A = this chain, B = another copy of it.
Amino acid sequence: MGNVAQGFRDYFCRPKNTNMRISLPAVCFIWQIAMIVLFGVFIRYDEESDTHWVEHRREENITSDAENDFYFRYPSFQDVHVMIFVGFGFLMTFLKRYSFGAVGFNFLVAAFGIQWALLMQGWFHHLDLETGKISIGIESLINADFCVAGCLIAYGAVLGKVSPVQLLVLTLFGVTLFAVEEYIILTLIHARDAGGSMVIHTFGGYYGLAISWVLYRPNLHQSKRLNGSVYHSDVFAMIGTLFLWMFWPSFNGAITDHGDGQHRAAINTYLGLASTVLTTYAISSLSAKRGHLDMVHIQNATLAGGVAMGTAAEFMIQPYGSLIVGFCCGILSTLGYLVFTPFMEKHLKIQDTCGVHNLHAMPGVIGGVVGAITAAAATVDVYGKEGLINTFDFEGDFVNRTVGNQGAHQAAGVCVAIVFGIGGGAIVGTILRFPIWGDPEDDNCFDDEVYWELPEDEESIPPILEYNNHMTSKHPDMSESNFSVEQS
């Protein structure tokens, strides 16, 4: 299989053109117009966001506007929204010269993805076959944000090595695969996955890793000078880390059951994350000379507990259970950065810029397994009769499902997510190898200069003469922008 990939690689090795003046606007316009047409044909407000709500309320004997789903979910929705745009965006600003690309392409991809997700998820879950319309409400927006999260995770694996057009293609297919995979896991298999350990993180992580494997760049070391952080870019990244960390309880509880479901999901996630922080710091310190802490671990591994609580957050895993899950994930995720990421790069030819394997793929699988075990271990004694039915949705076709059976189906869900991630990523990666997408050269990765107008560097202004003398020989493209400073 390595040979096949190598074959593809050689075949596609041509000089690259990163000019995207035609391709990016064309893709944006075509897709946005397509979205408008499809929304016009398919998408309408649901009964809680339609002006007919006042009538619906009376008919259904709903006593208060506070019963509108909006008030149960909007605060969580806004937290999730912050995680998607500020959390993921800033988490990836850690590279010294790719902060524009990190936060800017994250923005573009997410804004496109949520529209496509509303359609794809709508077709699978909310299509009224009589009217041919999809009804959307606040829960749809949360699910669209969730869906995009899968693609943004994949972006983390290829950060700095792809063009924005490639990212949009990655997102188009990613969202499509996500919707299918989600339908299989949640509806057909009837697994529970409130915070998406399987559906979002496992899928998104392996999707990105598979793409990165197909897009392997043997000469990436030529961009090594830019594949690292500077002091302030690491502080920027902490903004992303903290907003992800703080709002993860909202993420895992955003679409769980009203009442105790959301309440319990928040508590479990809060505890899982707290525990992860301590073991992450411990392993990070243990692994370095003089016990120095490494910002890469702090920025990423501290979040693994939230990923791993994604499935079981709504279950009665108990507070200490959440702590144990976080405990293990902090250790494993940090060890992943120390051991597994270099191993993958060297031996598996997978270049994982942000280490999404350690932050999403592996903790996602752990979360799926924890969910399966917790489900299988559920008892009427702990959950109560009604509680058990509510939590696992043992209704309709699934009224006779046992908890053991449910556990097995949860485990099956993990496998589906992995298969969709790796399989989908391999196919999409192959598509992304066509030399038409404008990705950067191996010596030009992790560099905003390829796709962005950059401001002149403040720090470079003062000592102009020395600066130029040394720069011209070393960094020809930068001295150019400097000339304009002198002349202006």
When chains A and B are docked, how far (Å) is the Cα of A402 from the Cα of B155? 51
Would you give the shortest CB distance from A168 to chain B, in whole angstroms? 9
Q: Chain B interface: which of A34-42, A362-370, A423-431?
A: A34-42
Would you give the shortest CB distance from A268 to chain B, in whole angstroms? 9
Judging by beta carbons under 8 Å apart, are A78 and B28 in contact?
no
Q: Does A2 contact B (CB under 8 A)?
A: no
CB within 8 Å for A259 and B70 given contacts A282-B29, A319-B39: yes
Q: Does A377 contact B (CB under 8 A)?
A: no
Q: Output the nearest chain B residue to A385 by Cβ-Cβ distance.
A: B55
The A interface, classified by DSSP as helix, strand, loop or mixed, is helix
Q: Does A211 contact B (CB under 8 A)?
A: no
Would you give the shortest CB distance from A10 to chain B, in whole angstroms? 27
Instruction: Find residues 298-348 in chain A having any chain B CB closer than 8 Å to their own CB.
Output: 298, 302, 316, 318-320, 323-324, 327
Q: Does A188 contact B (CB under 8 A)?
A: no
Judging by beta carbons under 8 Å apart, are B320 and A43 in contact?
yes
Q: Does A407 contact B (CB under 8 A)?
A: no
Q: Within 8 Å CB of A127, what residues of B?
A: none
**Extra A-B contacts (14), CB below 8 Å, given A21-B286, A32-B278, A43-B318:** A25-B282, A28-B281, A32-B327, A36-B275, A36-B324, A54-B390, A65-B72, A74-B76, A75-B75, A112-B274, A115-B274, A231-B454, A233-B455, A293-B452
Judging by beta carbons under 8 Å apart, are B70 and A320 in contact?
no
Would you give the shortest CB distance from A470 to chain B, in whole angstroms? 5
Judging by beta carbons under 8 Å apart, are A267 and B384 in contact?
no
Q: Output the nearest chain B residue to A107 by Cβ-Cβ distance.
A: B277
CB within 8 Å for A270 and B22 given contacts A53-B260, A224-B488, A279-B28: no
Contacting residue for A115 out of B43, B97, B323, B460, CB 8 A:
B323
Q: Does A19 contact B (CB under 8 A)?
A: yes
Q: Can you list, as one digit per residue, whether each of A104-144 has a CB less than 8 Å from chain B (1) or not (0)?
A: 10011001101100100000000000000000111001000
Q: Can you list, as one digit per residue, whether each of A448-459 has a CB less than 8 Å from chain B (1) or not (0)?
A: 000111111111
Judging by beta carbons under 8 Å apart, are B242 and A86 in contact?
yes
Judging by beta carbons under 8 Å apart, are A453 and B294 in contact?
yes
A-B pairs with beta carbons under 8 Å apart, 25 shown: A25-B283, A28-B279, A35-B275, A43-B319, A48-B259, A50-B264, A53-B387, A54-B386, A63-B64, A66-B66, A70-B263, A75-B78, A78-B246, A97-B231, A104-B238, A104-B298, A111-B275, A111-B302, A229-B455, A231-B458, A232-B232, A295-B453, A462-B470, A463-B470, A465-B470
